[in-house]
């Protein structure tokens, strides 16, 4: 009798904790989306300049202007001086996140040690591919599979 009472209390506590978690989750979602909506309103584009120099506030026309502009800017095969200046202006406006040194490092091929270290750092029950074969399998048979996998990756 005492054991069943303890189990019932434990079950009730789990239910209450679950309900409390759901409440906080819902409240956090409501707060997040209300903040997102406020931020989104301030980030929207209100007007765009047409080719003739006039401005538009129509959403569909602004979408067409932007699409045409960036399509021409980013897909031109031969660049005029004006196009190069526009590209340079866009590149100067966008903050650079990856330095040339970082880019060079990222373009280096993987080493055997990097692949082995990464494989060991994955959870044992993780299945990295669609074949549903866990990491533990690859680690156990690394002597056989390692060289084949490295050929594929390197």
Q: Running along the chain, 154 residues long, what does each successive block of 10 average in pLDDT?
A: 65 72 69 71 78 90 87 70 81 82 86 83 75 80 84 74
Residues 6+ apart with CB under 8 A from 126: 134, 135
What is the C-alpha separation between 56 and 68, in angstroms, rounded?
15
What is the C-alpha separation between 73 and 84, in angstroms, rounded?
9
pTM, to two decimals: 0.33
Helix (H, G, I), strand (E, B) or coil at 55: strand
């Amino acid at each position: 009798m005492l054991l069943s009472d303890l189990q019932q209390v434990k079950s009730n506590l789990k239910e209450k904790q679950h309900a409390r978690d759901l409440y906080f989750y819902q409240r956090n979602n409501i707060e997040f989306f209300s903040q997102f909506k406020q931020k989104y309103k301030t980030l929207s584009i209100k007007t765009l300049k047409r080719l003739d120099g006039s401005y538009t506030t129509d959403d569909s026309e602004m979408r067409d202007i932007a699409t045409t502009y960036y399509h021409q800017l980013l897909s031109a095969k031969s660049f005029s001086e004006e196009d190069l200046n526009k590209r340079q202006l866009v590149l100067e406006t966008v903050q650079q996140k990856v330095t040339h040194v970082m880019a060079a490092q990222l373009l280096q091929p993987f080493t055997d040690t990097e692949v082995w270290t990464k494989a060991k750092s994955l959870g044992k029950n993780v299945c990295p591919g669609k074949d549903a074969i866990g990491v533990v399998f690859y680690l156990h048979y690394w002597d056989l599979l390692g060289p084949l996998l490295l050929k594929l990756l390197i």
